[in-house]
Structure 1
Amino acid sequence: MSLHSININNTDTNKRKRDVNIAKDQLNDLSSQIVELCKNKDNSVEPRSVSDHIQSMVMNFLSSIPNDFDRAIEHLELIISSSVPKDLVMLYLNQNYRMIAYTSIREFISSFKNDPLKPIYAFIALKFCQILRENVKTDDGLYRICRSSLGAMIEFTGIPRCKYEQKKLVSLNSVFPFLMEISAELSLDLDSTMGTSGFEGLSFTLVRDFRAFLLPVWNVLWLMDNVTYEEKFFEKIDLPMCEMFYDLLAKVTLSLRLLDSKKVKKDIVVPWWSLYLDILNDLQSISKLYIYMEDDFWQNMKQVKGSLCYLITNFAEKSEHYEWIFEHKEVTNFYIRRQLAMMMVPEVEDNVEDQYNMLIDRSKLIVDSFDYITKLKYLPGSLFVQFKEEQAIGPGVLREWFLLACQEIFNPNNALFVACADDNRSFFPNQASEVNPLHLEYFQFSGRMIALALAYDVQIGVAFDRAFFLQLAGNDVSLEEIRDTDPLLYRSCNEILHMDAETVDGDMLGLTFVCEFESLGLRREIELCPNGKDIVVDSKNRETYVDLLIQQRFVTSIADQVAYFSKGFSDVITRSESFFRCLSLEDFNLILGGRIDISVEDWRAHTDYNGYDEESDVQISWFWKIVETMSVDQKKMLLFFWTSMKSLPFEGFGGLDSKLSIHKTLGPDDHLPSSHTCFYQLCLPVYQSMTDMKDRLMIITQGDIASSFGTL
Structure 2
Amino acid sequence: MSPVESFDHAVHSRPKRKLDDYAPNLDGDDDDAETSELVSVRMRKDEPNAVQQSSDLSGPIVSDAAETSSAESRTTTRSRLQFFIRMLSEGNTIVIQANSNDTVKSIHERIQVMTGIPVMEQRLIYRGKQLQWEQSLAECSIQNDAGLQLVGRMRSTEHPQAWQVIDDMVGVICRLCKGELVQSSLKLIKSRMTEFFAMTPKDDNDLAIGYLQIFMYSSAPAALVMLYMSPMSGNKECADSSIRHFLNSCRNALPKNLHTQCAPIVLEFCKLLRKFTPEDTLYLACRSTLGSLLENFGGSLWEKIGVLRATKYGDDVKGLVVIQDIFPFVSELAGRLSRDLTSSMEMVLSVGPLVSDVRDFTAFLVPLRKAILGQVGITCPIAVPLPKRGYNHPSHGDEIEYLHGIFRDLLMRMDKCLGKVEERLNVRGSGDGEINYSGWSQYLTILKELYAISKLYQGTEEQFWKVLRRRKSPLCALILRYAKRSDDHRWLLEHKDVTNFESRRHLIMMMLPEVKEDYEELFEMLIDRSHLLAESFEYIGRADPEALHGGLFMEFKNEEATGPGVLREWFFLVCQALFNQQNALFVACPNDRRRFYPNPGKLPLAFDACFP
TM-score normalised by the chain length of structure 2: 0.58
- 2:318 is the alignment partner of 1:149: no
Q: Distance in 1 between matches of 2:183 and 2:171?
A: 18
Structure 1 365/115 Cα, relative in aligned 2: closer, same or farther at 3 Å? same
Aligned to 1:67: 202
Letter in 2 for 1:190: L
Structure 1 431/327 Cα, relative in aligned 2: closer, same or farther at 3 Å? farther
Aligned to 1:86: 222
Aligned to 2:81: none
Structure 1 400/189 Cα, relative in aligned 2: closer, same or farther at 3 Å? closer
Contact 1:179 1:213 in 2 (8 A): yes
| Displacement after TM superposition at 1:385 (Å) | 4.9
Q: Quick one: which of 351, 354, 360 aligns to 2:528?
A: 360
Contact 2:376 2:393 in 1 (8 A): no
Consecutive unaligned residues in structure 2, runs of 5 or more: 1-155, 309-315, 380-390
Contact 2:200 2:208 in 1 (8 A): yes
Contact 1:319 1:341 in 2 (8 A): no
Q: Over residues 327-353 of structure 1, what are the superposed CA-to-partner deviations in whole Å (9 max), with x where a residue is unaligned?
A: 23333333333333344376699x998
| Displacement after TM superposition at 1:384 (Å) | 2.4
Aligned to 1:338: 505
Structure 1 404/23 Cα, relative in aligned 2: closer, same or farther at 3 Å? closer
Structure 1 163/277 Cα, relative in aligned 2: closer, same or farther at 3 Å? closer
Residues 484-495 of structure 1: matches in 2 within 5 Å? none
Q: Distance in 1 between matches of 2:192 and 2:558?
A: 82
Aligned to 1:187: 338
Contact 1:415 1:432 in 2 (8 A): no
Q: Distance in 2 between matches of 1:160 and 1:173?
A: 17
Structure 1 431/144 Cα, relative in aligned 2: closer, same or farther at 3 Å? same
Contact 1:179 1:214 in 2 (8 A): yes
The SS at the match of 2:442 is helix
Aligned to 1:428: 597
Q: Distance in 2 between matches of 1:94 and 1:176?
A: 29
Q: Quick one: which of 109, 118, 122 aligns to 2:263?
A: 122
Aligned to 1:26: 165
Q: Quick one: which of 243, 252, 255 aligns to 1:105?
A: 243
Q: Distance in 2 between matches of 1:391 and 1:218?
A: 63
Q: Distance in 1 between matches of 2:372 and 2:167?
A: 40
Residues 36-75 of structure 1: matches in 2 within 5 Å? 36-38=175-177, 40=178, 43=179, 45-46=180-181, 49-69=184-204, 70-75=206-211
Aligned to 2:14: none
Q: Quick one: which of 360, 367, 374 aligns to 1:209?
A: 360
Structure 1 298/224 Cα, relative in aligned 2: closer, same or farther at 3 Å? farther
Q: Distance in 1 between matches of 2:330 and 2:580?
A: 58
The SS at the match of 1:194 is helix
| Displacement after TM superposition at 1:208 (Å) | 1.2
Q: Distance in 1 between matches of 2:346 and 2:569?
A: 51
Q: Relative to total residues, which structure has the larger helix share, 1 or 2?
A: 1
Structure 1 378/232 Cα, relative in aligned 2: closer, same or farther at 3 Å? farther
Consecutive unaligned residues in structure 1, runs of 5 or more: 1-16, 443-712
| Displacement after TM superposition at 1:234 (Å) | 5.5
Aligned to 2:303: 160
TM-score normalised by the chain length of structure 1: 0.51
Q: Distance in 2 between matches of 1:438 and 1:120?
A: 62
Q: Distance in 1 between matches of 2:453 and 2:583?
A: 50
| Displacement after TM superposition at 1:203 (Å) | 1.7
Structure 1 383/271 Cα, relative in aligned 2: closer, same or farther at 3 Å? farther
Q: Distance in 1 between matches of 2:578 and 2:369?
A: 47
Aligned to 2:477: 310
Aligned to 1:294: 461
Q: Distance in 2 between matches of 1:222 and 1:385?
A: 60
Contact 2:523 2:553 in 1 (8 A): yes
Q: Distance in 2 between matches of 1:36 and 1:127?
A: 22
| Displacement after TM superposition at 1:192 (Å) | 2.9
The SS at the match of 2:595 is strand
Q: Over residues 156-178 of structure 1, what are the superposed CA-to-partner deviations in whole Å (9 max), with x where a residue is unaligned?
A: 12243669687565344421222
Q: Distance in 2 between matches of 1:205 and 1:37?
A: 33
The SS at the match of 1:384 is strand
Residues 581-600 of structure 1: matches in 2 within 5 Å? none
- Root-mean-square deviation (Å): 4.0
Structure 1 290/434 Cα, relative in aligned 2: closer, same or farther at 3 Å? farther
- 2:384 is the alignment partner of 1:241: no
Structure 1 358/319 Cα, relative in aligned 2: closer, same or farther at 3 Å? farther
